[in-house]
Structure 1
Amino acid sequence: MVGWGDIVNEKIGQYWGRVKQYWNKYSKKTKITLIAAAVFMILTVGIISYNLSKTEYSTAFTNLQPNAAADIKAYLDQEKIPYKLSADGKSIGVPTAQVAEVKIAVESKGLNKGGNVGYGIFDQSGSFGTTDNQFEMQKLNAMQGELQQLINSNQAIANSKVLINIPEQGVFLSKNEEKASASVVLEVKQGYTLDQNQIDTIYNLVSHSVKNLPLDNITIADQYGQYMVPSKADGSPQGSTRVANQFQVKKQFESDMQRNIVNLLAPMYGQNKVVVNVVSTMNFDQKKTKEQLVSAPNQDEQKGLEISVQELQKSASSDGATAGGVAGSGANDVPGYESTSNSGNSKSEENQKTVNYEVNRITNDIIRAPYVVKDLNITVAIDTKSVNGNPGKIENAELLENAMKGIVKTALADSGVEYEQADIDKKVTIIPKELQSPSSTTASNLNNYLLYGGIGLAALALIAGTVFALRRRKKNLLEEEEEYITNGQQQVEYPTIDIENVTNDNQVRKQLETLAKKKPEEFVNLLRTWLVDE
């Protein structure tokens, strides 16, 4: 008896034999192509399936405080929302499709406050049974929390800590009222910096939020202990702001000069054939000078304008003088002596003229330029090959060099230093060089894209060619079978096995091998018949 398992194994053997027979028809090259295509398709399907099946996470919360992160994590666990927690515990990611929903839910529950409790604490708890000291402490904590929330709203600040000191009010009024003070520590995010305007804004927020708190009583520092100074502390820009402004002026000056030189040389040597580098040194010391000048309106006579004239004339005459008075009785006479007496004619005149002149009075308050160019170096590179095909030579090189020297000399005119011509010559450099065109880089990138695209198209073409070859081969086989059947060709008869007339075992074995190779189906049926007979 033949069991069901034997029949199944026999069927599997038949199918496997057909597959091997069909596979052996192809050449080695075709087999390698088919295997590569199959592996490629399996990998592609696997990658696509993996990407479609995995959950994509997006960051919903960053720079969280430990207590806020713990509250949000507890909420996500309660709602059974999958999440990813960063290694430092400050960022939480949720599925991309649920980011907006989770953010709204967390904010509505007030879980992302980071421990900064504002004035909302008075809505959550009543003041019944609270002493004055407790109420003042809650009010101070609420004020500090509100300030922290205001400061944390800045994109560059991850977290902040505010400490306010409000003096106690005395029983009696005092003329010298104590002022409040505040200290702020800022945790600036990695990669961010606070400019002077942002620092001033934080100072003003703190100063205007607390009664009787001047800027001088506020101290702000970052997480590294670096003190941040307000620009209004002494009425002038401080530290980083002044340096940033000076750097911006220097950069703008060099950029403008570089652009002007390129615009000058481009028409002569061609667009994108000139490269200019400008390096300058500037002095930003400001000088204020006050001049008081006096000059005559009438430059020819060097006289001023007469605004008032006063003339006084006096004349006196007498015919003689007689002795008078008691001797020694005058006011200036010595007692006991007789006074002298004058006789004869006398005449006197006195002329006095006073003229007030008006002159030009000029007062000049001179403030020099905010910067002076102390040194300037210009380097110009010319693409000589593209100009005349002769590398190493520049057309009108002497004219170009003189023009650059003139620019340097003009820029250094106000430097206060007298430069010799040899010094000016050292500040200009002309370089003849074959420059790489910007289009070459673009062409290189384009070639890379074309290469990658060609590889992809070749892979697609290989797969398509393989499929087409298989279909064509199958179609040809079907056509050959139909033609064979249509033409009525007789099948080749293979020798049958005559066991009764065969005396040699080798002949039986050879006939069985021949039958198995030429007609495998009949060979299987023969074996089945033998098994049934036995």
Structure 2
Amino acid sequence: MAEGLAPQQGQHQMNQQQGQPQGQSFAGSSEVLSGTIDGSAPPLLNMQNMMLKHRRIILFFAASLMFVGFVGLMLWSSETPYRTVYSGMDEKDAAEIVGLLEKERIPYKLQGGGTVLVPEDQIYAVRLKLASADMMPSNGEGFELFDRSNEFGISDFTQKINLQRAMQVELSRTIEVIPMVSAARVHLVLPKESAFAERERKASAAVMLKLMGNKKMPQQTVVAIQNLVASAVAELSNDAVTVVDSSGNLLSSVEGNQPSGEGQSMMDYQSKLEKGYEIRLTSMLEQVVGAGQAVVRVTAQINREHLESSANIYNPDEQVLRSSKSIEEQRKAVDSVPMGVPGMASNNPDSVVAADGSVGTQSAPSEQATRNENVMNYEISSKTEHKIIPFGTLQKLSIAVIVGEIVKTNEAGEITHSPRTPESLKALESLVVSAVGLNEDRGDTIEIQSMPLLDLSGSSDVLMDGFGDRAFYFEIARYGMAALALLLVAWFIMRPMAKRMLTIETREEDALPLDLQGFTSGNIESEHVQKMNKTRQAVLSNPDRASRVVNEWVSSV
């Protein structure tokens, strides 16, 4: 105890030597004591504690808000997704399915339009259970209509109607097997035979399809459905099958398998034609230059009109002899002198009477004439042409080909690229011309170049048909939204709060006395401790003086 008071006594003596009374020492400590003797903290420390407490409350509420938001987003993102088991069911089928789900204690959701949803991880098991319980929804009864053997006295008309109904249901079930078809309905008009030709009725069919999502059915699938229905009904042709979707869009073309005059059908046909050329050329070129080193683009110009023309062509330079006629005529003329009695033989110019009394012919001077006549008939060469140009006739073909440069690795391990020689490009061009049957007279063009190609092998795995697995992308979107929400909370809530607290701290620091500016909470706390220790030592060194100071404070109050 004496050792602890020695420094203070020395300091007290030093103060007296300097002419400073002890009262000033207690007076200098009275500011600190005023906040310590009654058990309360000094004003400066109270302000510090209030500021820290205010910040702690704000941080607590902000952290609580972020925690609650994060937990809510995680619960929402981790919620089990539901998928549709069946949709478009009537109330009876939906009630049976819901009853089975409740009996098996399987969670489900109901939506409008007779749609039942179950957790995604149980959808296939639920469908198997429904199938085993014979609760599969259907559009009606198929050929099971004829399984009832106890129905007697059914008329022929009823039998025909039942046959038509059964065929419609069976065709609907078959079409619904196609993956992109959610539901299908088929209406048939069966052929009717009659002894009179005008009373005969041809077969026809109409198919209504409900597609999944916003998918568009390819034209080849539509043609396949037409062929399927036409093959199942007697005397039904493909052209007599009409296919539409639930939005009222006509899916079947006018000409069946041939491209129709409709703009969309012609564009689809042109796209298929170009794609076919591109696939053929790419597969051929990649066998020469390597996989992924050939890019082919084909533009086909096709006829979009149905044209018919007739022409008679005459060629005057080509004459054909049709007939010829030749006449040759020769004549002889003889001069005779009349003699003798008229009417007698002797008076005949062509005969004379001989000396013995016989009649003979008397010669006279004669003339000979010849006539030749040739008649030749010629025909001019003519040709009659009748041309029919159907829809989709190829009129012009333009081909652009890019082949990758030659890649080599030198001795140092460096990869070098060198363009292909004109001779090799010419050889590749000849292959392309022969493969597609390029016709320069028709105006077909081809362009082939050698360029460096980017290596897309690393990104080929992520390229999928259409949009790929939609459920996978949906999960990514959910977690992405959760992360985005946390970022928004941090940006729009935490950032302004932190900025506001920094502003308050700066203002409070500016409001302190000039001699306390620049002090941190650590400096203030250490200064306060030093004053407390100094006061405690002064009280212990001179308790009488301390008691008088306290009495003065109490009496002044």
* TM-score of Structure 1 vs Structure 2, range by shorter chain: 0.3 to 0.5
TM-score in terms of structure 1 length: 0.44
Q: Relative contact order (alpha carbons < 8 A, sep ≥ 6): 1 or 2 greater?
A: 2
Q: Which has the larger radius of gyration?
A: 2
